[in-house]
Amino acid sequence: MSDESMWIERAQSAEAREATLKESNTRIKEDSVHILETFAARKQGDGSFKIDFEKFIENIGESGAAELRQIIDEQYPAKLSAVK
């Protein structure tokens, strides 16, 4: 294999990887937007996120909220009793 054909092969391989990475990046961004919308989260100036819990409950619905509450009660009972 000549040096030129090796470089051509490497360039083609890099272009293919770049396209794959761009596609993955686009999907990650779309998923992130969906997650932020579901949680009704807004990024704050300090980089943290603030969740609008009323909108979050609207987004997941009453049955989703009840399921979330059940999971919290089952998986974190010690932490919840300390808060009450």
Delimit the domains of the chain by residue range. 1-38, 52-84
Residue 41: how many other CB atoms lie within 10 Å: 16
Nearest to 37 by CA among 52, 18, 22: 52
**Is a pLDDT exceeding 80 seen at residue 79?**
no
**Is a pLDDT exceeding 60 seen at residue 7?**
yes
pTM exceeds 0.75: no
> Under a CB-based contact definition with an 8 Å cutoff, are residues 60 and 68 in contact?
yes
Structure tokens belonging to residue 14: 């890099």
pLDDT of 18-65, one tens digit each? 999 999 999 999 999 999 999 999 999 999 999 999 999 999 999 999
Question: What are the residue ranges of helices labelled H in the chain?
Answer: 3-38, 53-75, 77-83
pLDDT at 81: 63
Q: Please tell me the number of Cα atoms within 13 Å of 16 on its side-chain side.
A: 6
